[in-house]
Structure 1
Amino acid sequence: MAKLKLKDKDLIDIGYPQNKSISIALDVAQTHFKKETKQKVLGHLKGVVDNPELFIGHGMFGKIAEALLEAKKTEARALNATRAPFTIFGENEIEEGAKEQLFTALKLPVSKKGALMPDGHSGYGLPIGGVLATENAVIPYGVGVDIGCRMCLSIFDVDPSYIEGHQDKYVNILQNHTKFGPNEVQKNPGDHELFERDEFRTIPFVKRLKDKAWQQLGSSGGGNHFVEFGIVEVLSDNNQINVPAGKYVGVLSHSGSRGLGANIAKNWTDLAMKHTPLPKEARHLGWLDLDTHDGQEYWLAMNLAGDYASACHHDIHRRIAKAMGERPMAMIENHHNFAWKEIVDGQELIVHRKGATPAQENVLGIIPGSMTAPGYIVKGKGNPLSLSSASHGAGRQMSRTVAKKTITQSELKKVLKDNGVTLLGAGLDEAPMAYKDIRKVMALQTELVDVLGTFMPKIVRMDKG
């Protein structure tokens, strides 16, 4: 059968206005009806243009209907004159640029409440450490590029002295069983039930990302992503970790949804910025209404990327545990760069956490420091002022550019030696001096979390830098 050939003029002839509804309709036709006759396809599309209100929410034609029902050209949305309520934790330790980014986000018409964590610093859209609750709207750049970026900690019943006594073994495990950056992948990516998800079949953009996602399963990104061996100290027998008080070998990883999440973020951020154009200072904060086709697709794709990030961590930890010949006593994980439907002040809202850790009451999480500073196993307190959130780490005190210009290799080597840390990979932009003091950050959020234990890095593997 001949390939379906439709042109803009064909749709204009059956009543389509000269707007984005034409390109959307052509895409739908090529995706779902490429083996149908031209006459039959035009019949379907004419039914939509004649009665678009009947197709709102339709699986194939809903997006066309939305475009047809736009009564006027989208105009720049004005920001509110006043900010939604907010709380800043550790305000004196946070740069003004980060606070200004939060203040801008709080003026969005959809914003209801916000907060900034003590590790806060400037980002794109929301600041890093920013938390924002919106009504029936999701902001792709409020979630971030690395969707569902996670921390994952495995605790093993192994004496910590083994790390120093068998250092070569642990160094080799990290070198042989972890992969970093855009080009490294595992030789034999594992299979996972996640790849059977409907989103890989029903969302055309996501479908194109499936093969690359499978190739990158079990690998980590660049930048501040890491896998490291270290010493876990559980502070008390009375805890939710289900591990007795004491010291153990731990594996801690930090990475996200790889190319899958990055491509999802870019695609739907571009759509959001077109749907809700905003003044220059807020242009990255375009949102998608959750009752629209694009909003629903992004929500599904975002959750898929978050689950994929978790699957990557589990694959990494499985490989390392097998190489160690051990099974973990416990695993703790949490994610940031995500949006959740949560009840805030009695109303269901969309809570965005851009570089912020969920800290609902009694929920466990990990807040890392730098490569020479402790990370913390925490239990959330569910503080409503922070929208049940806490910091996601120490936070940067130097930009990557500044760190590369001001920190020397000799300085980095000295601080690593002084702290007994072996570093595999990483650039100067990830040097410990580029980060805030995690101890000070933790002191500024005692209202948000309780500390149950610590993790001290000893062998750190990162991208080459």
Structure 2
Amino acid sequence: MVTGKDLLALGLRPGKWFKAALEHINAYNLEGEALAAYLDTVKPAPQIPLLEKPVPFHENISADTSVEQANIDYVKQSMQQLMRTPTVVTGAIMPDACPAGPLGTIPVGGVVVARNAIHPGMHSADICCSVMLTILGKVEPKSVLDAAQRITHFGPGGRLPELQFKLPEEIEAEFQANPFLNSLRSLNLARAHLGTQGDGNHFLYVGISRNTGDTVLVTHHGSRGVGAALYTQGMKVAERFRQAISLETAPQNAWIPSESVEGEQYWAALQTVRKWTKQNHLCLHETIGSQLGAAVQQRYWNEHNFVFRDGDLFYHAKGATPLDPKFMPDITGPRIIPLNMAQPILIVEGTTTETNLGFAPHGAGRNLSRTRHKYSKIGQTKEDLFAEETQGIDARFFFNQIDISELPSAYKDAEDVKRQIVHFNLATTIDEIRPYGCIMAGDWEQDAPWRKKKLAKEAARLTADDSQADCSAL
């Protein structure tokens, strides 16, 4: 009788397939050449190892300070590890590049091209994070910002049922037809999160065109809970493939073979989430314009967190703006690159070059994490920092709680990023939307129960320490 130990002795990798194989082998008393021939039909494919050397990638970034250099060094180390992933054929980093996880994780401002593979970890949970722009003519900008504050929705969760926008039937039908999207949870998220912007660096910005003097509305957000749910499922499927075909690959770089059934379904799901995200922006833009009675002069958008396809090549852009028309089937205008709340939004055009791979930066990026930036401002109040850094603009936080990790100083120097865009021939600026004001979520967790509990616990600990100190002094 053949046992699992016998299969291990033959150098076969154990797995769920052992049980069925052993039943078949022993039922038919297979041995010798017959056994070998059968095992060749059922044993797992050989594991795919990491590449011996990292695939070279293009560096469209430079440093002026030691902090910037440290940031770039970490990004480059991360890319060098990532570029040993077996599917990868080329990559690039942009001037806004900054770390986004442990070494080997695609950085923000990174582009990685893979053959016949979709890597969910390389588009991240914020699938299709994007910007939409609407030109509203000579409307008074304060009226736009005031209307937007009444209409938009920041923070966790979705809209109340009576305030929800209608999910278009075409998009709902695509959700129901795709196994990655047709759960009741995903459908409920698609309805409740429509017309919401989330938190973090997402914003609603009102400014004035340098070229025309027109008032312009720009929103920045992604697919919210809809995309996060798809990302979670995608990572689970990619991990199953990783376990089967490439254990040496880091979990964050696991992939779904694009030609597999799962790969085709996941690609279709990404396109549906893209449609949903565009509709998410449209709900806000159309409602704000309608409430103001403003005629739309022009409207366009672009994502910067997505996977783009060109034949058997999949371009994973984690915070990189697509320039090449082949990446965007619904182009209606140039591209949009925001920098920070106090700086103009760049309107750019560009072409594919050898070093940019058809992409430009998506913003200013960070040199320090949110936490490290907050520590760097110890000794200054949030109110003083806010007043200092938002002079001349109408900056608002939806929850009336200042988030200093979203103030301009939290980001790379905008002028330096603009210089690098020119230096590395990444894009040409054809207009700037100069800031009137913006809305961001703000520190909505400041009064959260978990934070209050943590602060109370810390206060109790300090009180206990003080009591012990008083007792020891007696």
Q: 2:57: which partner in 1? A: 86
Deviation at residue 183 of structure 1 after TM alignment: 2.3
The C-alpha deviation readout for 1:271-320, integer Å capped at 9, x for no partner, is 21231156788320001101112222221111111111111001110111
Q: Does 1:151 align with 2:131?
A: yes
Separation of aligned partners in 1, 2:368 and 2:42: 45
> Which of these residues, 426, 447, 466, is aligned with residue 448 of structure 1?
426
Normalising by structure 1, we get a TM-score of 0.76
Deviation at residue 458 of structure 1 after TM alignment: 2.1
Separation of aligned partners in 2, 1:248 and 1:417: 22
Q: 1:265: which partner in 2? A: 231
Contact 2:350 2:426 survives alignment (8 Å): yes
Deviation at residue 21 of structure 1 after TM alignment: 12
Contact 1:374 1:438 survives alignment (8 Å): no
Deviation at residue 416 of structure 1 after TM alignment: 4.0
1:393 alignment partner, SS class: coil
Contact 2:181 2:187 survives alignment (8 Å): no
Q: 2:98: which partner in 1? A: 121
**Residues 418/261 of structure 1: CA separation in 2 closer, same or farther (3 Å cut):** same
Which residue type is aligned with residue 414 of structure 1? Answer: A
Separation of aligned partners in 1, 2:117 and 2:345: 33
Contact 1:104 1:281 survives alignment (8 Å): no
Separation of aligned partners in 2, 1:289 and 1:281: 14
Separation of aligned partners in 1, 2:146 and 2:415: 31
Which residue type is aligned with residue 380 of structure 1? Answer: G
Deviation at residue 417 of structure 1 after TM alignment: 4.3
Which residue type is aligned with residue 83 of structure 1? Answer: P
Q: Where do 1:130-209 residues align within 5 Å? A: 130-158=110-138, 162-163=140-141, 167=142, 169-185=143-159, 187-203=163-179, 205-208=181-184, 209=186
Deviation at residue 135 of structure 1 after TM alignment: 0.6
Which residue type is aligned with residue 342 of structure 1? Answer: D
Contact 1:146 1:262 survives alignment (8 Å): yes
1:459 alignment partner, SS class: strand
The C-alpha deviation readout for 1:417-465, integer Å capped at 9, x for no partner, is 4233332335121111110112211211221211111112222111132
Deviation at residue 171 of structure 1 after TM alignment: 4.2
Q: 1:233: which partner in 2? A: 210
Contact 1:396 1:434 survives alignment (8 Å): yes
Contact 1:199 1:300 survives alignment (8 Å): no
Separation of aligned partners in 2, 1:395 and 1:458: 22
**Residues 214/70 of structure 1: CA separation in 2 closer, same or farther (3 Å cut):** farther
Deviation at residue 394 of structure 1 after TM alignment: 0.5
**Residues 315/430 of structure 1: CA separation in 2 closer, same or farther (3 Å cut):** same
**Residues 126/204 of structure 1: CA separation in 2 closer, same or farther (3 Å cut):** closer
Which residue type is aligned with residue 139 of structure 1? Answer: H
Which residue type is aligned with residue 72 of structure 1? Answer: P
**Residues 73/134 of structure 1: CA separation in 2 closer, same or farther (3 Å cut):** closer
Q: 2:358: which partner in 1? A: 388
Separation of aligned partners in 2, 1:20 and 1:306: 37
Contact 2:164 2:191 survives alignment (8 Å): no
1:386 alignment partner, SS class: coil
The C-alpha deviation readout for 1:29-83, integer Å capped at 9, x for no partner, is xxxxxxxxxxxxxxxxxxxxxxxxxxxxxxxxxxxxxxxx8623885x5321212
Which residue type is aligned with residue 345 of structure 2? Answer: G
Which residue type is aligned with residue 413 of structure 1? Answer: F
**Residues 354/21 of structure 1: CA separation in 2 closer, same or farther (3 Å cut):** farther
1:384 alignment partner, SS class: coil
- Return the index of the structure with the highest Cα Rg: 2
Separation of aligned partners in 2, 1:286 and 1:368: 31
1:387 alignment partner, SS class: coil
The C-alpha deviation readout for 1:215-239, integer Å capped at 9, x for no partner, is 11111111111112111223xxxxx
Separation of aligned partners in 2, 1:281 and 1:97: 19
> Which of these residues, 353, 357, 360, is aligned with residue 321 of structure 2?
357
**Residues 81/73 of structure 1: CA separation in 2 closer, same or farther (3 Å cut):** closer
Which residue type is aligned with residue 84 of structure 1? Answer: V
Separation of aligned partners in 2, 1:414 and 1:431: 10
The C-alpha deviation readout for 1:344-374, integer Å capped at 9, x for no partner, is xxxx411111110001269721000111111
Q: 1:3: which partner in 2? A: none
**Residues 20/248 of structure 1: CA separation in 2 closer, same or farther (3 Å cut):** farther
Determine what percentage of the aligned residue pairs are the same residue. 27
Separation of aligned partners in 2, 1:259 and 1:375: 27
Separation of aligned partners in 2, 1:119 and 1:147: 19
Deviation at residue 18 of structure 1 after TM alignment: 7.6
2:199 alignment partner, SS class: coil
The gaps in structure 1 that reach 5 residues or longer are: 1-16, 23-68, 235-245
Moved more, 110-119 or 86-95: 86-95
Q: Does 1:254 align with 2:186?
A: no
1:247 alignment partner, SS class: coil
Separation of aligned partners in 1, 2:393 and 2:122: 38
Deviation at residue 201 of structure 1 after TM alignment: 2.7
Q: Does 1:312 align with 2:292?
A: no
The C-alpha deviation readout for 1:231-267, integer Å capped at 9, x for no partner, is 1223xxxxxxxxxxx2111111000001010011111
Q: Does 1:284 align with 2:252?
A: yes
Normalising by structure 2, we get a TM-score of 0.75
Separation of aligned partners in 1, 2:366 and 2:439: 19
The gaps in structure 2 that reach 5 residues or longer are: 1-13, 20-40, 326-330, 444-474
Query: Aligned pair count?
Result: 382
> Which of these residues, 223, 227, 238, is aligned with residue 200 of structure 2?
223
Q: 1:54: which partner in 2? A: none
Separation of aligned partners in 1, 2:120 and 2:394: 37
Separation of aligned partners in 1, 2:384 and 2:373: 12
**Residues 100/109 of structure 1: CA separation in 2 closer, same or farther (3 Å cut):** same
Contact 1:74 1:275 survives alignment (8 Å): no
**Residues 21/122 of structure 1: CA separation in 2 closer, same or farther (3 Å cut):** farther
Computed over aligned residues only, the root mean square deviation of the Cα atoms, in angstroms, reads 2.6
Deviation at residue 205 of structure 1 after TM alignment: 4.8
Q: Where do 1:5-84 residues align within 5 Å? A: 19=16, 71-72=43-44, 77-84=48-55
Contact 1:155 1:331 survives alignment (8 Å): yes
Q: 1:53: which partner in 2? A: none
**Residues 326/185 of structure 1: CA separation in 2 closer, same or farther (3 Å cut):** same
**Residues 296/275 of structure 1: CA separation in 2 closer, same or farther (3 Å cut):** same
